Amino acid sequence: MESHTGMKRALIIMVCCLWLFEAVFGRVGNVSSEVKIGALFTLDSAIGRSVKPAILAAVDDVNSNPNILKRTTLNLVLADTNCSGFLGTIEAMQLMENNVVAAIGPQSSGIAHVISHVVNELQVPLLSFATDPTLTSLQYPYFIRTIASDYAQMYATADVLEFYGWREVIAIYVDDDYGRNGISVLGDALAKNRAKISYKAAFTAGASQTDIDNLLVGVNLMESRVYVVHVNPDSGLTIFKVAKRLGMLSSNYVWITTDWLPTLLDSTEVVDYETLNLLQGVISLRHHTPDSDLKRKTISSWKKYKDEETSSFNSYATYAYDSIWFLAHALDDFFNEGGEVTFSDDPKLQSTNGSSLNLTSLRIFNQGQKLLQKLIAVNFTGLSGQVQLDGEKNLIHPVFDVVNFVGSSHLIGYWSNYSGLSTIAPEILYGKPQNKSPGNQHLYSVIWPGQTTAQPKGWVFPNNGKPLRIAVPYRVTYKEFVSKDNGPSGVKGYCIDVFEAALNLLAYPVPHVYVLYGDGIRNPKFNNLVNDVAQGKYDAAVGDITITTNRTRTVDFTQPYMGSGLVLVSPVKQTKSSPWAFLKPFTVQMWFVTCAFFLIVGAVIWILEHRLNHEFRGPPSQQLVTMFWFSFSTMFFAHKENTVSTMGRLVLIVWLFVVLIITSSYTASLTSILTVQQLSSRVKGIDELISSSDPIGIQDGSFAYNYLIEELKVAESRIKILKSQAEYINELLLGPEGGGVAAIVDERPYVEMFLTSTKCMFRTVGSEFTKGGWGFAFQRDSPLAVDLSTAILQLSENGDLQRIHDKWLSPDGCSTQGSQVDDTRLSLNSFWGLFLICGCACFIALLVFLCRVCLQYRKYKPEEEELEIEEPESLRPSRRTNRTTSFKDLIVLFDKKEAEVKEMFKRKISDGKNQIGPISDRQTQHSSPDCEAD
């Protein structure tokens, strides 16, 4: 019994020890293996209803996965912001009291700004879905965005607008941090594409339908018909309901929304017909999540976590799910490297002990910085794609789907910061070279509001009853172009008719009124007119307005409807014929080269013909005369000497062709000089005028004033402003000596009118030294400028532009420029090719001739050497005399007739044969004694 009792006691003690060990050490193990994380959302919202089940599923998946956080369990602390900035801030503070190591959310940008300050102080990483682009890691180091920022979304929106060519949009947005900051980035993105937000229509969060009604009524009176809607998901449909009632969802309207609309519709499994009818033709952006088997399988497992109000999941759910796994990967690395979760009191909050807010319960996460570094280094592939942060703690690959609502949402393309707009999934493009060029941007076709496939213009004339105010220069001179009229329009002229004809070609009416610009006493300053259009005082300017570089920086011009450029007008006098006019067709260089070639060709022909042609033989004086006579007689094709050598005839044929071209050109140039050139001017061109100190006249109000001073650096004191055609005539006739001007600088259309009105008393000199044209000026980015440019091209193609020109402007004008001697003189540049051919022919002929003579000389030389062998040694001349004799022999050979040379060679060959017999006899005689001796 005692042994039994002892065994029982030992067993009890062992059980107690095991219980005590479990109680003590087990509790410590449980404490160390549980990590609290927070989640902060507006649960009763389109985003919150999708995010909550995804987060719950993600926490359970992490806790049940043996490959991650093996000895650690995630404990989720969920808080509801109740769609209130104030309550959301309180909930966020209470969430931090639970000693969480990280927080997921919030979705609200306003709450995110407040809670970011808190997590910075407590060193708790915040993985947020707030898309406000002003939430940056530079200001909030512990803020991490786990969804694409509105910065990327607004640039995607701007690229869509650029793709369709719209330059002005109206932004409709909620007036809070989320709305204001997003639209601010949109304005910056549009500015890079030379587009702009023409009006910002903001309304307060929770605005009534009446407020939205008043807002859209005002918007509908404006010019732009492209609307970008950036609001909260739970109130956005109200805008489309009001727009439907106001008729703003018909054709010619464009509606583009940010991701709020797909977020709202994707949260509902079946969207009712009335809602879909509201959204017909709308384009929207949606956060992109690649389709995969893992995604479909995982989302299907979330159904058990859904509330009764949650019927489907939007893209935020996949990002929320990946955020939990994102944090889990970082915690796993944190614990694997021996990290511990400890908290300490914040010294800054100790002074608030007496406060009922109990702020001392907020404690600092001591290892927050280390966990933050682990989060930055995480890189894995989740349901939303690759999860990795860039240097600003944003996802490295922001991607959006571009969808078009036609009965349901239809995918028409993608946008990514890697390739821009594309119809190919970004996951495929990441493996290819980056290409964001305009030609590589693509989207599928779109059904626009009103069930049309025709792309809307995106603008109309405002429905505010105000016609376009068009400024027209009140000209004093050259009223044919534009002038005051007593008719209904108040103006008339060539420019007005062109403008009205272009308007008639447009597919829509353009109500407008003309406003005279100027006092009618002197021409207005056209630079001031253009600046007033740029500043919005007028909607456009129509008249003889020259398109210049400086003006295009402030306004938009249409296609030029008349060519224009600056020319010089100068007084001219009739020139008298000169007795030496026959020398003017050729330049001095041309005369010299031509004469030289006459001599060269004559010499070459003489060399080639001298041995064959008896006409080129005789005494030296006679041969010299023959050479010169033959050379210059070819000018008139009157040479009587015949050529018999092949090379001579070849050279002569080439030379006669050259002579034919030169004489024909000389005749034409001389005729032009003697018959056309009757006028001369003291000014030859703009360069000569600038280099002189003579006064220069310009038309009052012309852009030539600034051009001469700024571009050509002409002294301002030299420029005289002329206000009428009478002043033109008077100043030109007086000239610089009489206090007038040396020339007038003006645009060609005015000059042509001036010359016609003065019956060609004056002429233009030099060439047109600027190129430009006249166009109609509009305010920057006005779509009417583009449409009118197309209309002007149509007028030019169908001939109406020329008919309007002939109606107002005289088709018969003066010769704009008298022919100048320098322009008609022929230089060597026009003929050096001919001379080169002739020179090559002469060189080849001489080379062949000399080679033939040298070969003959080699045969001719041995005969002379034989004579030297037979002579006694004492009688032989020296070698120096031999060399002199050899040169003389060459000259003698050259001077011999070809027939004599041939006869000499024949005789030499015959003599050589006769000498073979005697030489053999002598050799026999010398050898006989030897034979006899033998």
Alpha helices in 27-106 (DSSP H): 27-33, 46-64, 85-96
- pTM of the entire predicted model: 0.67
Sorted by sequence, the CB contacts under 8 Å of residue 800 that are 6+ apart come out as: 501
pLDDT reported for residue 531: 95
Amino acid (one-letter) located at 440: N
Query: How far apart are alpha carbons 168 and 258 in whole angstroms?
Result: 17
Q: What is the pLDDT of residue 776?
A: 96
Q: How many angstroms separate the CA atoms of 674 and 413, rounded?
A: 73
Which run of H or of E encompasses 426?
helix 426-429
Decide: helix, strand or coil at residue 292.
coil
User: What SS3 state is found at 160?
Assistant: helix
How high is the pLDDT of residue 161?
95
* Cβ atoms 647, 845 nearer than 8 A: yes
Interacting residues of 838 by C-beta distance below 8 A, sequence separation 6+: 597, 601, 651, 654, 655, 658
The Cα-based distances of 108 to 89, 181, 206, 306, 394 in angstroms read 11, 13, 15, 22, 17
pLDDT at 35: 93
SS3 assignment for 347-415: HHHHHHCCCCCCHHHCEEECCHHHHHHHHHHCEEEECCEEEEECCCCCECCCEEEEEEEECEEEEEEEE
Q: How much is the CA Rg of the chain, to the nearest whole Å?
A: 50
- Judged by DSSP in three states, 331 sits in helix
The confidence score (pLDDT) of residue 869 equals 44
Q: How far apart are CA 569 and CA 750, in angstroms?
A: 11
Q: Cα–Cα distances in Å, from 369 out to 69, 119, 378?
A: 20, 11, 15
Neighbour count for residue 57 (Cβ, 10 Å): 22
Q: Are 745 and 665 in contact (CB under 8 A)?
A: no
Query: For the chain, how are helix, strand and coil distributed in percent, rounded to 5?
Result: 50, 15, 35
Rounded-to-integer distance, Cα 609 and Cα 159, Å: 83
Q: Please state whether beta strands 743-747 and 696-699 pair in parallel, antiparallel, or not at all (unpaired).
A: parallel
* Local structure of residue 373 (DSSP, 8 states): H
Give the CA diameter of the chain: 173
**Which of 107, 103, 108 lies closest to 120, judged by CA?**
103
Return the pLDDT at 603: 80
Please list the rounded mean pLDDT of every run of 10 residues in the chain (934 residues): 52 49 41 81 84 91 90 90 78 86 88 88 91 89 92 96 93 93 95 91 90 93 93 88 92 94 84 86 93 84 67 85 94 91 82 60 89 93 90 90 91 93 91 87 94 89 78 93 92 95 89 93 92 94 94 94 91 66 78 84 77 66 71 65 73 82 81 63 81 91 90 91 90 89 92 86 84 92 88 94 90 55 67 85 83 70 47 48 54 61 65 53 45 37
DSSP state of 707: I
User: How many residues in the chain?
Assistant: 934
As to burial, measured by CB atoms within 10 angstroms (0-12 exposed, 13-18 middle, 19+ buried), residue 52 is buried
Residue 254's closest CA among 156, 165, 151, 178?
A: 165
Q: Return phi, psi of residue 641, to 5°.
A: -75, 135
Residue for token pair 């507006």: 42
